[in-house]
Amino acid sequence: MTGSEFVQLSLVPLVIGVLAAIACALPGNFLLLRRQALIGDAISHVVLPGIVVGFLISGEVSTWPMLAGAAGSAVIAVVMIETVRRLGRIEPGAAMGVVFTSLFAFGVLLLEHSDTSGVHLDVEHALYGNLESLIWLDGTSWSALFDGAALANLPAELPRIAMVAAAVAVLTLIFWRPLKLSTFDEGYARTLGLPVSLIGFALVVVASVAAVAAFDAVGSIIVIAMFICPPAAARLMTDRLEHQVIWSVVFAAIAAICGYVLAGYGPLWVGASNAVSAAGMIAVVAGAIMALACLFGPHRGTGQTVPQEDS
Amino acid sequence: MTIAENTALELVAANGRPVRHTDLADAPLAVRELTVSYGQKPAVFSLDATFAPGRLAAIVGPNGAGKSTFLKAALGMVPKLSGQVIVFGQPLAAARHRIAYVPQRASVDWDFPTPVIDVVLMGMYRQLGLLRRVSAKQRDAALACLARVGMEDFSDRQIGQLSGGQQQRVFLARALAQDADLYLLDEPFAGVDAATERAIIDVLKAIRDEGRTVVCVHHDLTTVAQYFDDVLLLNVHKIAEGPVGDVFTAENLQKTYGGRLAAVHIDQLRLDPQ
Amino acid sequence: MFETLLDAFLFRAGYNAALVTVGTTLLGIAAGSTGTFIFLRKRALISDAVAHATLPGVGIAFMVLVALGGDGRNLPALLAGSALSAWLGLLAVQWISRRTRLAEDAAIGAVLSVFFGGGIVLLTVIQTMTTGRRAGLEEFLLGATAGMLFHDAVFIAAAGLLVLTLVIALRRAMTLVAFDPGFATSVGISVARTDLAMMALTMAVTVVGLKLVGLILIVAMLIIPPVAARFWSDSTNSVVWIAGLIGGTSGFLGAALSASAPDLPTGPIIVLVCFALFAVSITFAPQRGLFAAMLRYRAFHRHVHRRQGLLALARGEEILDPVTVSVLRKAGLVRRDGVATEAGRAQAARILRDERRWDIARQIHRDEAVINRQDILRPIEDVLTRDEIAEIDRRIGPPEAVPS
């Protein structure tokens, strides 16, 4: 693959993939520690109706109404889940299951029923994304990176995911202490006056926005792999939250890069001619990293989680 | 919010001299007509209680008597059905920064990736806010709090690696780091070893001698007279409150524990209240 | 349109529609009943992992079939492949949550997404292999009921009935294990084997449902009916039957609705019908439903304030809480200026006496069951016998009137 082909066909998808993975891995760290990993499962299902509604209202796929729709459906979903949990004293997993499967079915119905033939919004796309198609026709060589006219024709998904990833990173930095405090000891954080419920809620909303921004890259379901695998692998590497977050970003980037490369070039190496799904491969690589961490990670053991009673 | 005016409390020290006249506005913690329920069962019903400043007070009662619930309602952690909580003469929201809380150990995720020193620094959240870096002075202050509870050598250990008693000490250090005027502790001595129990009560007495107020939910009747100045006897309703010498009587204990405390046990408690 | 709907309900809308309806009804009943046990075991979302983990197995089975010279559309073979990879997924979940410090929810999410991702990779491989004829494996994602063959329907019906029979046979063991594994072990039930059976049944339902509603929506049929049924009953057996009923009804109604409007996909409609039944349950169920809970809470709230206020009146204390005052006023127990009425004084005296009796009762009754039943909603006359009350009255003297 020549340099110009790379810039044209692979550079942008790679960058988008990496940014999407990082944008999901960051909030995923806290979801994991709060035992809310499956809310990533819920979020990636419920953003579908939000995205479809946003698309139906605005008429295009790559716009802010989609993000707003997704955030909106995340809010609705969280409210519904809490209602079911409190009212019926139903365990959180089942409450989530009821809400997100129904919302997802609603999203599929909307999708199949509305006319989406004009844009590439179909169920398969919604499920596993379309990373390979985000090519940069004007990127004829490396020098195009400095050419304003060529840059103006970058796929719109790139600045979108870049902004979301930057926003997620900045928010994580600014609210680091309240996040850490409320995740570690919710009761105590409340006594300090921290708005614990609001923090939890905001975390879910931010994760939803990241999920939607990643939607174009990997579709709604593989986002879960991004929420969980890099942070889980990172958790097994260290006992400090700061290091865990850094590890998770590194793992997310590796998964995105290796996944894309394997999907695009792997088949060529074994003699086949067509690429395979980049999104699927990214998830597989993320899973492989996590498996390695489960087998060899220095802090993988169950450790002493139950305090011993002295005599 | 209405507070009944001129509600005065006269406190008498063990040697008979009056300690001070206390106005409701000075009481570190007072509740009026407090009712809290879980579902249809009231945990605390129509409770009126006032704690005096600069004293070490115990809240005592059988299981399910509402002692932890009372603390949590005082801190706004559980919603109340009715009543008022008055902290240093103000509503809770205004005076929250003057309270430090040490919970029961069970409420925390011990697998959380954080070392002991970071847990203590959490107590300084108010000063640090969102973005301020932790200064050397603050780090030293945190280490000093750890030293007060005897844990200064453990500052870099991950919390899941500590024993139960050690974890309790770290939580106390966190509360010390808050430099509060009122300390609320939920069964601080439950399930800890003898050495930790001694360390904790020494720290609590030192805090009280500094003029701060300490209120503990306490489970062990045999040590009430030894450790505490005041006691609140609670069994959904208030049974009695006041200095230990006046209030911690066989009759009141019988009323609090009903048939659950045989007379012979009460007699044992009266032995050597020193 | 209404006529076509009616036709659909009566199995007159066409051969295919009738087959599908029978299949989805049976599937709904089987899924609802099986799902109840994983719900009770508090592991509802493991069905999501199982469902998503079927995809690689389907893909590999297809590739094997094609390699062996077939056309890859052999339903039992594909389903066998799906069962195998789902089983591997389950093992992976257990291994992760037992061997590392990660919790089960993280394990479920990881297996779900990684296996699904692997399945998608295989799907794209297959797409390139069989150009010209879309493998139709996407059908397993959301289900494809059009063109269902008779022997497919027979297979699904048979599998569904088998699952139901096993659920009935194993329900007692599964209930015990879900409720109290320690106790179950002590009476000789193997928790591990029962869990295994539960998982196998879940997998069977998932695999059977792949064709009809797809792997993504089968989870809904396993989770929503039990949660809905929970609102109607506190007894496990009833919850199982009601969940089966709700599942079957959703299957039936959903398929019929979708038959009468052919461009609507069957799977999502079934799920949405199920959700509608759930919404009805959560709102209107007596005891645990929303309305019932609201009414109960307000009654309790009023009762507590009333009792507190009357006690304060009886003791001559000032009432500080404005809500209490308004509750008493509305009940005609105090006047506008806060002074007690006749009725108010009478009630206050009664409550005061009740409170005093309870004070004494707590002292003389060593029986904790009695103490625990004082929940302020019940006057003491409901809890103690007449002679017990007479004994208490002896100690506290005659009733006192409340001064005005």
Q: What is the pLDDT of residues A68-93, one digit of tens each?
A: 888 888 889 989 998 888 877 888 88
- Rounded CA separation A204/A70 (Å): 11
Inter-chain residue contact A287 with C293, CB threshold 8 Å = no
Q: Which residues of A touch B (CB under 8 A)?
A: 33, 35, 174-178, 180-181, 183-188, 190-194, 235, 238-241, 243-244, 303-311
Mean pLDDT along residues C276-289: 90
Q: Which of B37, B83, B236 has its CB closest to that of C321?
A: B83
Chains near B with 3+ CB pairs less than 8 A apart are: A, C
Chain pair A-C, CB pairs under 8 angstroms? 212
Residues 6+ apart with CB under 8 A from A242: none
Our measurement of the distance from residue A157's CA atom to the centroid of its chain's CA atoms, rounded to an integer in Å, reads 15
**What's chain A's average pLDDT?**
84
- Rounded CA-CA distance C266/C250 in Å is 11
pLDDT of B127 = 82
- The one-letter amino acid code at C314 reads A
| Alpha-carbon distance A281 to nearest alpha carbon in chain C (angstroms) | 6
Q: Which of C95, C110, C231 sits opposite A287 (nearest CB)?
A: C110
Q: For the structural domain made of C2-277, what CATH number should be given?
A: 1.10.3470.10
Question: What is the model's pLDDT at position C182?
Answer: 76
pLDDT tens, B207-226? 999 999 999 999 888 899 89
**Are the CB atoms for A168 and A214 separated by under 8 Å?**
no
Q: Is the CB of residue C27 less than 8 Å from the CB of residue C234?
A: no
Under 8 Å CB pairs connecting chains B and C tally to 62
Rg (CA), chain C: 30
Burial of B170 (0-12, 13-18, 19+ CB in 10 A): buried
CA A194 to chain B, closest CA, distance in angstroms equals: 10
Are the Cβ atoms of A303 and B111 closer than 8 angstroms? yes
Mean pLDDT of chain C: 83
Cβ pair B107, B170 in contact under 8 A? no
**Cβ atoms of B186 and A303 closer than 8 Å:** no
Q: Where does residue C155 rank: exposed (0-12), middle (13-18), buried (19+ CB within 10 A)? A: middle
Instruction: Find the residue in A nearest to C272 (Cα).
Output: A102
Nearest by CB to residue C321, choosing from B4, B82, B236, is B82
Cα of C272 vs its chain's centroid, Å: 16
Question: Residues A155, A135: contact at Cβ < 8 Å?
Answer: yes
pLDDT of residue C125: 84
Backbone angles phi, psi at C287, to 5 degrees: 80, -65
Contact B164, B200 (CB under 8 A): no
Amino acid in position A50: G
Strand partners, B262: none
Q: CB of B200 within 8 A of CB of B149?
A: yes
Whether the per-residue pLDDT at C373 is higher than 60: the answer is no
What are the φ/ψ torsions at residue C334 (nearest 5 degrees)? -135, 160
All residues of chain A having their beta carbon less than 8 Å from the beta carbon of residue B68 are none
C372 CB neighbours in chain B (<8 A) are 64
- Residue A109 to residue C258: CA distance in whole angstroms: 11
Mutate to test the interface with C, among B6, B38, B81 (most CBs of C within 10 A): B81
Closest residue by Cα to residue A245 from A37, A43, A40, A27 = A27
| Domain positions in chain C | 2-277, 291-396
Q: Return the SS3 of B84.
A: strand
Q: Which of C101, C223, C272 sits opposite A109 (nearest CB)?
A: C272
Q: Do A184 and B112 touch (CB under 8 A)?
A: yes
How is A254-308 classified by DSSP, letter by letter?
HHHHHHHHHHHHHHHHTT--S---HHHHHHHHHHHHHHHHHHH-TT-S--S-SPP
A305 vs B110, B114, B195: nearest CB? B110
* Averaged pLDDT score across all residues of chain B: 82
Q: B206 falls in which pLDDT band (50, 70, 90)? A: very high
The two counts, helices (H) then strands (E), for chain B are: 11, 12
pLDDT tens, position by position, C383-400: 777 877 888 888 888 777
Helix, strand, coil percentages in chain C from 3-state DSSP, rounded to 5: 75, 0, 25
Contact A41 C112 (CB under 8 A): yes
Q: Cα-atom radius of gyration of chain A, to the nearest Å? A: 20
Q: In chain C, which residue's Cα lies nearest the Cα of A37?
A: C106
> A230-267, pLDDT tens digit by residue?
999 999 999 899 999 999 999 999 999 999 999 888 88
Q: What is the dihedral of CA C70, C72, C77, C79, to 10 degrees?
A: 180
**Cβ–Cβ gap B37/C364 under 8 Å:** no
Q: Between β-strands B29-38 and B82-87, what pairing exists: parallel, antiparallel or unpaired?
A: antiparallel
pLDDT band at B194 (very low <50, low <70, confident <90, very high): confident
For C71, residues 6+ apart whose C-beta sits below 8 A from its C-beta are C65
CB burial string A156-192: b at 16+ within 10 A, e below: ebbebbbebbeebeebbeebebbbbbbbbbbbbbbbb
CB contact under 8 A, B114 and A309: no
Say if the Cβ atoms of C375 and B41 lie within 8 Å: yes
DSSP state of B81: S
How does DSSP classify residue C72? S
Contact list, A175 vs chain B (CB under 8 Å): 130
Chain A residues inside the 8 Å CB shell of B109: 33, 35, 183-185
Nearest alpha-carbon partner for A297 in C92, C118, C102, C88? C102
